[in-house]
Structure 1
Amino acid sequence: MKHVFLCFVLLFLGSTTAVWGETLSELQQRAESGDSDAQYDLAMRYWEGKEGAPKDDSKAFYWAKKAAEQGNAYAQSWVGYFYENAYGTARDFGEAAYWYRRSADQGNRFSQNNLGECYYYGRGVERSYEKAVLWYKKAADQEFPSACYNLGWCYENGEGVASNRSLAISYYRKAAASGNEDARQRLSKLGLSADGSSTTSASTASTSSSSSGSHVDPSTLANAQSGIDVSQYVLGQQYFDDGNYEQAVYWWRQAAKQGYGKASLKLGDCYHDGVGVDRNVTTAAHWYTEAAEQGEREACFKLGTCYETGGGVIKDYQIAVKYYDKGGYLTASALCSRKWLQQYRSGFDYAAATAGELRSRANNGDALAQCHLGLLLYADEKTTEAKEWFKKCAANTRANNLSKTIAKKYVDQIEEADEEAAEMFELFFGF
């Protein structure tokens, strides 16, 4: 399933209560006086970077939370979204679920659907398909397309409810009629159209999908069918090796739903490359996230790349760096940190500058150049020289906080690596 909250928020929550022609300072005065509507409107101005307000996720989060604390259901929904996606604040799935619930309890269908997602994936709450279905249904009853699709998925796969193909198709069609592309594609894969007509023989499709490949081991199949996640993963690989990509995706999905990280990584690859499923970089990023949170290093790298390039997620160099670090891809982290630093500086393009150009500026006391040069040298494995430039940046009174933070981080990283190397030398060659 896909998490498609943002597009619907922008579509349905775009209306605000700001006074026509009200300036940013006037709106801020009302917000500071405690007007929750003004606080919400101010948050949206900062979020979208419009009507006199620069784009500032931190201020958007600050004012949205002020309004949310006064009971504004729309603001509560946004605060949940900010916490879930680390916009303007640290990612906190528990806080996200809390604010979605407060909003959902007021009947907000966006939050009801997102709270369902929290329960479906176990984000910030204990995983429960039954509770996911409960919240999806509340949103679907208000004709929220994504919730209709999600509910259809649960009925099709028997997750949280008894499997019911008829109800699944009904909800898919309801979602498709409102423009939900995932529902339309799902109906197509079932051999159906959104208007109720059949496009293929369902019995033929069923027979085809259940056929075994020549390399499928019967005992692995039996174990997978009994619900053993590692067997589901191995079975998926056997189908994949046989060229039966749709069955591979099916079994990897079963394992991934049980939290098997390697299966989540494989699903991410399938969606990224369009193998066995329609190519969907947003869904790929979702499964890479699942795998990364389950400790798969390769997924951390791929997710970092998604955030660095904006593939399936909103481009965010800071989050990219976080995942590169988590996976141990330190060279990629250093190079991405250069892009992260550059976005806070206009004029000279530090991120594209050569080592020589950076060295010239760094020798003249340019703190940003010192940090960029250190990162470039670090990526080139010239850690001793890199460390010296990082130290100069960290001690430079003209360095901004971000430059200093990055410089200190790499100094610590290099020193830790040096200590480990010394310990290993002592272990093998000491007397």
Structure 2
Amino acid sequence: AQYNLGICYESGMGVEKDEIKAFKYYEKSAEQGYLNAQFRLGFYYDKGIGTEVNKVKAFELYKEAAEKGYTIAQNNLGAYYENGKGTERDLNKAVYWCNKAAENGDKIAQYNLGNCYKSGMGVEKDEIKAFKYYEKSAKQGYLNAQYQLGYCYDKGIGTEVNKVKAFELYKIAAENGNKIAQYNLGNCYESGIGTKVNKIKAFELYKIAAENGNEIAQYNLGIFYEDGMSVEKDEIKAFKYYEKSAEQGYLNAQHKLGYCYNKGIGTEINKTKASELYKIAAKKGHTSAQTSLGYLYINGVDTEKDLDKAFYWYSKAAESGNKVAQHNLGIFYESGIGVEKNEIKAFKYYEKSAEKGYLNAQCQLGYCYNFGIGTEINKIKAFELYKIAAENGNEIAQYNLGNYYKSGMDVEKDEIKAFRYYEKSAEQGYLNAQYQLGYYYSKGIGTEVNETKALELYKEAAEKGHDFAQNNLGACYENGKGTERDLNKAVYWYNKAAENGNKTAQYNLGNCYKSDIGIEKDEIKAFKYYEKSAEQGYLDAQYQLGYCYDFGIGTEVNKTKAFELYKIAAENGNTDAQSNLGYLYQNGEGTEKDLNKAIY
């Protein structure tokens, strides 16, 4: 009766709820040895209900009830021994009492015993036994066990992998409020694990789990909002979910939040915060954060440029198998950045990264085979690697593959295929490919002539600083190809290309100054541009410079220099130079008279 009266006061059944009175009635009943009351009184001391918390008294009461066969007390006593509450920690006794309660059918004890066998806590690790105890507990409807059993099926712990059963158990646990199961069920829907892919359901479940505080779900929800996957794209919401997850210490979120600050995604750019977050995650072993931190050090972003630290963090990430870091470390060794140049090591790091499917590394490895960097030249392997990377969307590999088909280098020449690969690469904004595609449209190589498209592509590449495109764009404007003739624009783009050291543009600009094309005639400037171009070995400029010396255009007459330049250009096939060289031999100007050579 005392115990029952305690129940009434505890629950407010037929009387006003009063936990202090409930405690007192449980105490009276327990003093008379009533088992249920002893357990209940222990629980009240455990949780501080109707009295102050007293773990020692709780332990004593649980022990007394447990020794008399009270199963819930046995489980709670096991937990006390496991966590050292009210007594010294003793894992052997924890397992003993958990086992007692489990044998008596207590579902929580069965679950706890499963945890012991899974992790080898107080007992030899045995995943098969762990699975069996989870199964027993789950059959009694214990939520945590249902989730854990699903996880066992998902990962093949103590049983064979069964994704369908995993999905079913996650679903049961998720629907009953288990937040980890909610996340895992969302993952199943996102990735098609044990069910069909359903991004909308995945999003819904991640949202529920995120609202319940699951840090991984918060991170995944951030990705959904950032990418606009099954929800309207919202970078501000993405940032907020990354922030919530990061605050709980989730490494992926800490790195991602740093990335958001670095790039200004959903927030203002803050390189200092980016650096701080990268450092936090990097020091905890997050390889992507280590790689990002290396990038900050190599570029001196919000920190002094420090190649040693950049190398250190790339090395840490590379040792842990990060493919991006391995690729970047390859660049360090190939170029001798922050470390002694070593092409063999560079090749090995590219190889490691490429084996993990990193496209840039596959392309770079192909480059190594192509030019014999750190390995012997192997054009076939280079082609194969370019092809793999190109088919997976690497724009540089697509461009390089275009070059292979263009030249027929270790592959049958095919200008149509070359055109297609240049086109794919150009669509991704690769500058060299945009120029090359423009050239193909200009000349009708692998496609029909289309001067308008050629002009557009030259213009796009020229505006990004590609000097060959700048020169060709100038030629389009000079000759009215793909556009109306505009000599001012022609000179503008020739000048841009010439400033960037393009020898053809320097020659063309020389012609403009010599012949008053789009600019006031200035033979001295013409001479200087021919000279710059000729110094880079441009054949027509060598001839034209010789002509300037021959006739004193923009400089004093110097027949000897004229002869030397005509000779260089003539030997390389310039017909005008050959004719003028013959004339100098005939008249003995700048050289001895020699009619045989003149006739030759």
TM-score normalised according to structure 2 size? 0.31
**Structure exhibiting the larger radius of gyration computed from Cα positions:** 2
